Structure 1
Amino acid sequence: MAVHTATPHSHGQVLPFRESLLAILGIAFVTMLVALDQTVVGTALPTIVAELHGFELYAWVATSYLLASVITVPIFGRLGDYFGRKPFVIASIIVFTGASLLCGAANSMLFLVIARGLQGIGGGMLVGTAFASIPDLFPDAHTRLRWQVVMSSAFGIANAVGPSLGGFLTQYYGWRSVFYVNLPIGLLSVVFVWRFLPHLRNSKHEGPIRIDWLGAALIALSLGALQMLVEELPKHGVTTYTSVLGVLAIVAFGALWRWERRAAQPMLPLDMFANRALSTLFLLAVLGGFSLFALLFYAPLLLQGGFGMSPQEAGLVITPLVVCITIGSITNGRIVTRLRNPNLMLYVGFVMIAVACLGVGVATRSTSHAVLFVIMLAGGLGLGFVLPNLTVFGQQAAGREHFGIATALLQSLRMVGGMFGTALTGTVVTHFYRHGVHVALEDANAMQWLAHFGDPQILIDRNAQAALVAELAKAGHNGALLIEQAREALVGGIHLGEVIAAVVAFVAVVCSRRVPPVKLTRTVEPPVVAE
């Protein structure tokens, strides 16, 4: 295979403007594929379970995807550093799209769970390689930040239309269509990537490459055990099973650390963690993921289950959070390159995220929609300031040799932080809700109705709620009062969970001081084009 050094154009990009636009559109379609799938599937899940049955596997539809993607993101991020990213991007689109076809054809919950796991492998490959393709195309950090607006817009569009699209497709075309919708997007993605994304490789990895398969296996084992532990601990507490998972995760991480110190070409280069800037950015990715997921998952539950808003009302209030991530990213690209200290954007972003979490943590039913709108707007802008900068700063600190693994680790650690955020917040919410409901029913001598209040979903499903109130009234209980007391318990739990997320975001503000001043230099090392 012949290789030659790519000469960056005058504006800090490997390709001319037209080719750069077409290449990044291909990557944007790829990332939209993953983002859209994550948002549309959740809407369809209740309908899927109703048809396929197997409620005991309900959570595994999401867990199998997350487990597979968390494991594969860092592995393929590193392989992309070695062999170039284009082959893996194309393979990941094919795997993801093929798995989507299998998901749509599922005739049982077990089949769907397995297909979702395969889809997670494709999704992990996509995240691990597609994001790292951007610094390959745009070695200059200034130019990269401007072009990343296309990626942010793709994510914003997918997140904004995903829930509504999922509901529309499920209602009018059946739940299988939420998976089949990936097929045309996948086809479009593979055409653009195949045709316009150049095959770029890092010149420092020329010569024979020994793949660190043991390192890859230990990454899979450690992250897999951690994922399962975080999933199971809030549901079942400390049991023999969760204890085994905890011990397995610790042992696997220890073995990974020892092995990678000796490996000639480690899958996880430990010298990155000795880099103060990178190690701090990795920590900020965990803290940012914690607050991000706590906000995204539980703000809608507060509005609908706690405050009794309709899905349409709640969607209107939440919209600024999703849309302003894109607006914040666009604004960030315009501002950060003009600052003498680009790190300031991390401070501003995390402060805004903390304020948004705190705002949700103190909001009440009497809080006006305008105030809630401003809270969500602050959260969205804050995320738009933080997320692209963590990636760009990390790539700048890592250097071209570690672009892929550094980018992949930032994505993986954000997902790990999100797992901890949703798990801890979910544990707090569940404890407060169940305790509040238990006390209310006990005071009303209605403990036989405890199972009906077991899931906060009863506070969102108005039809089920009306039927329950009617049944309680027939039994001589004040159903409306009990529903209201359940709402208060849910609100109390979410409030505490969001305050914890706000504290985590403020900790991130403090930790941001440890990031050495980042220099978004225009001096770049050209990549290598493989032909």
Structure 2
Amino acid sequence: MPFRESLMAMLGISFVTMLVALDQTVVGTALPTIVAELRGFDLYAWVATSYLLTSVITVPIFGRLGDYYGRKPFVIASIVVFTVASVFCGLANSMMFLVLARGLQGIGGGMLVGTAFACIADLFPDNVVRLRWQVLMSSAFGIANAVGPSLGGFLTQYTGWRSVFYVNLPVGVLSLFFVWRFLPHLRHVAHEGKMRLDWPGAVLIAVALGALQLFVELLPKHGLGVETLSLLAASVVAAYALWKWETRCSYAILPVEMFRNPSLAALFTLAVMGGFTMFSLLFYAPLLFQGGFGMSPKDAGLMITPLVVFITIGSILNGRIVTRLSNANPMLYIGFSLLVVSCLGVVVATHAMPRALLLVFMLLGGLGLGFVMPNLTVFAQQTAGRQHLGIATALLQSLRMIGGMIGTALTGTLVSHLYASGVELALAKDRATQWLADLSDPQILINLDGQRTVLAQLTAAGHDGAMLLEAAREALVAAIHIGLAVAAVVAVLSVWQSRRVPPVRLKGPQEPVILAE
């Protein structure tokens, strides 16, 4: 394509990327305040995982549809669904409504990820040229990431948390215009007949992951009872049935042969691990800063900004470096090692730690993700080849979301359980257990009006309310530290897992696509 047409098409994809990135960064900063108002900390993790769960199912479906029919129609549809769902999120009057609206938003997000990211490989078959053009998308991602946390904190503090969802509206309209007007309708080969979709496979994925999610959520509250064991059994049975079905299905949503490829299997495993660490940091660092360290939403947003901004800066640096290396694999080792340092830095962080040092840990985490995520995508595209490019890209993104879903669910479960135990112990020592219901939900650490009410009640009853509130804050900090320590362990395992990726050199064009009629 000529330069002008390539530029306008990439602007359309970049605005789509900005739509997803802005939503992720803005919501993470606003979430503690949302929970404080809607009063549903037990569903805190579900605001993230409902989005991820529906995305995981829709990404491979629309990745395959995009391979078959061309990606442009699905990119347009995804922008509409995502933007409308954002409005529903802003209208939520309960945590359950918000969780359901986020699930709908995840369908749109899955459609976006399954099609928009693969558009770049369609437009630029040469890996080196593609990496250069990806700088534009990385810049758009960086703008959204730079603005997102601070914008989320500012809007939450001064105009209310609902506005963080409405901010998607202008970006969605802009994305729709550029994609509709300038993105060419490309597909790989001309097809005849009707395409068959693997709906049984999609249902089995939903059952396996949904049951696993519920099992992780309910285990700390109910233990290994009939209900939780049934969920675990349902997840295992569905996963086994999925594997058996996909090996026999000629139009499988999950091509089993890809998982049998050692190179792709290694990359897929790293995608899961990277998603686990990334989403744990994105969703629980803001809670640590606001609930644990007492920062305002605006200040917490500023602290998160280096994490998300340096994902983009790292991606840009990575693009300049890997094309000059005979073996690009060391970038994975460096990236995951930086993630280890970042997670451990947050684990040892205290309220007294200098803000500058905390910002450095956030910066290192972003830089590490910037070195890891684009390389996993390009490595998988090159390894899979043109025939499976769309589904390989979609699978990688899906598996990253699965890792994020498991990470947020597991971290959320640990935080909820450990925080409640710490608060109960502190209240028992002061013989104030009648206030357990008020302090067992961390929303009290963010809701200033609720704090004043509880402090007044404790003082009237002869207790040191400020001390008990501080004990609750320390319990939350300790709980999040343990949750993020698990993310650090996963990052360490990722460094070790990187050795399984065969040497990759990014060069040479792939087969061209054809223009759809």
- TM-score, shorter chain, exceeding 0.5: yes
Structure 1 residues 89 and 232: CA distance shift in structure 2, 3 A? farther
Name 1:493's counterpart in structure 2.
479
Partner of 1:284: 270
CA contact (8 A) 1:230 1:419 kept: no
CA displacement 1:472-506 (0-9 Å, x = unmatched): 22221122222222233222222222222111101
Root-mean-square deviation (Å): 2.9
Q: 1:111 to 1:430 in 2, by over 3 A?
A: closer
Structure 1 pair 275–337 and aligned structure 2 pair: CA distance change class (3 A): same
Which letter does structure 2 place at the counterpart of 1:530?
A
1:132 is matched with: 118
Q: Using a 3 Å threshold, how does the CA distance of structure 1 residues 137 and 241 change in structure 2: closer, same or farther? A: farther
1:23 is displaced (CA, Å) by 0.8
Aligned residue identity for 1:141: N
What amino acid is the match of 2:313? I
Aligned to 2:466: 480
Using the size of structure 2 for normalisation, the TM-score is 0.90
Displacement of 1:267 after TM fit?
Answer: 2.1
1:259 equivalent to 2:231? Answer: no
Query: Partner amino acid for 2:471?
Result: Q
Structure 2 distance, partners of 1:407, 1:182, is 25
Alpha-carbon deviation of 1:273? 0.6
CA 1:90 to 1:56, structure 2 compared with 1: closer, same or farther past 3 Å?
same
Where in structure 2 are the equivalents of 1:204-353 lying within 5 Å? Answer: 209-233=195-219, 236-353=222-339
Residue in 2 aligned with 1:524? 510
Distance 1:47 1:327, change over 3 A: closer
Return the alpha-carbon distance in structure 1 between the equivalents of residues 486 and 64 of structure 2: 34
What residue is the counterpart of 2:141 in the other structure? 155
Shift of 1:82: 1.9
Q: What does 1:19-418 correspond to in 2, within 5 Å?
A: 19-41=5-27, 64-103=50-89, 114-166=100-152, 177-203=163-189, 209-233=195-219, 236-418=222-404
Change (3 A) 1:72 1:226: farther
Deviation at 1:108, TM superposition (A): 7.6
Structure 2, unmatched stretches of 5+, are none
Deviation at 1:292, TM superposition (A): 1.1
Superposition deviation, residue 208 in structure 1: 6.1
SS at structure 2 position matched to 1:211: coil
Quick check: 1:29–1:154 contact (8 Å CA) kept in 2? yes
Q: Give the distance between the partners of 2:469 and 2:140, measured in 1 at CA.
A: 40
Shift of 1:407: 1.3
Report if the CA contact (8 A) 1:343-1:518 is conserved. yes
Which residue is 2:416 aligned to?
A: 430
Aligned AA (1:347)? Y
TM superposition shift of 1:187:
2.4
For 1:227 and 1:176, locate their aligned partners in 2 and report how far apart those are by CA, in whole Å.
Answer: 27
Give the letter for the 1:157 counterpart: I
Do the aligned residues in 1 keep the contact of 2:127 with 2:506 (CA within 8 Å)?
yes
- Residues 204, 401 of structure 1: 8 Å contact kept: no
Compared CA separation, residues 156 and 463, structure 1 to 2 (3 A): farther
**Paired letter, 1:405:** I
Distance 1:467 1:90, change over 3 A: same
Cα pair 1:60 1:113 within 8 Å, conserved: yes
Offset of residue 386 of structure 1: 0.6
Identity of aligned residues (%): 71
- 8 Å CA contact 2:29–2:301 kept in 1: the answer is no
Offset of 1:205 from its aligned partner? 5.9
Separation in structure 2 between the aligned mates of residue 224 and residue 402 of structure 1, nearest angstrom? 27
How far does the alpha carbon of each residue in 1:111-135 deviate from its partner, in whole angstroms, 9 at most, with x for none?
A: 6655443332222111111111111
The answer to whether the 8 Å contact 2:126/2:508 transfers is yes
Q: What's the secondary structure of 1:268's corresponding residue?
A: coil
Q: Does the Cα contact within 8 Å between 2:72 and 2:183 map onto a contact in 1?
A: yes
Give the alignment's TM-score, normalised by structure 1. 0.88
Deviation at 1:513, TM superposition (A): 0.2
**Aligned mates of 2:476, 2:100 — CA distance in 1:** 33
- SS state at 1:203 partner: coil
State the alpha-carbon separation in 2 of the partners of residues 206 and 308 from structure 1. Answer: 61
- Offset at 1:298? 2.2
Of 127-136 and 106-115, more deviation after overlay is shown by 106-115
Find 2:454's aligned residue among 458, 462, 468: 468
CA, structure 1 residues 131+240, in 2 after alignment: closer, same or farther (shift >3 Å)? Answer: farther
Q: CA deviation at 1:360?
A: 1.1
Task: Return the alpha-carbon distance in structure 2 between the equivalents of residues 272 and 470 of structure 1.
Answer: 61
* Higher deviation after alignment, 493-502 or 121-130: 493-502
Once residues 90 and 459 of structure 2 are traced to their aligned partners in structure 1, the CA distance between those partners, rounded to angstroms, is 42
- For the residue of structure 1 that corresponds to 2:255, the secondary structure is coil
Conservation of the 8 A alpha-carbon contact between 1:234 and 1:426: no
Does the aligned pair in 1 maintain the 2:85–2:104 contact within 8 Å? Answer: yes
Q: Secondary structure at the match of 2:515?
A: strand
Q: In structure 2, do the counterparts of structure 1 residues 409 and 477 end up closer, same or farther at CA, with 3 Å as the change threshold?
A: same
1:264-303 Cα deviation digits (max 9, x unpaired): 2322211101111110111101111111122222222223
Q: CA deviation at 1:522?
A: 1.2
In 1, the alpha carbon distance for the partners of 2:39 and 2:421 equals 30
Counterpart of 1:9? none
Alpha-carbon contact 2:49-2:408 (below 8 Å) kept: no
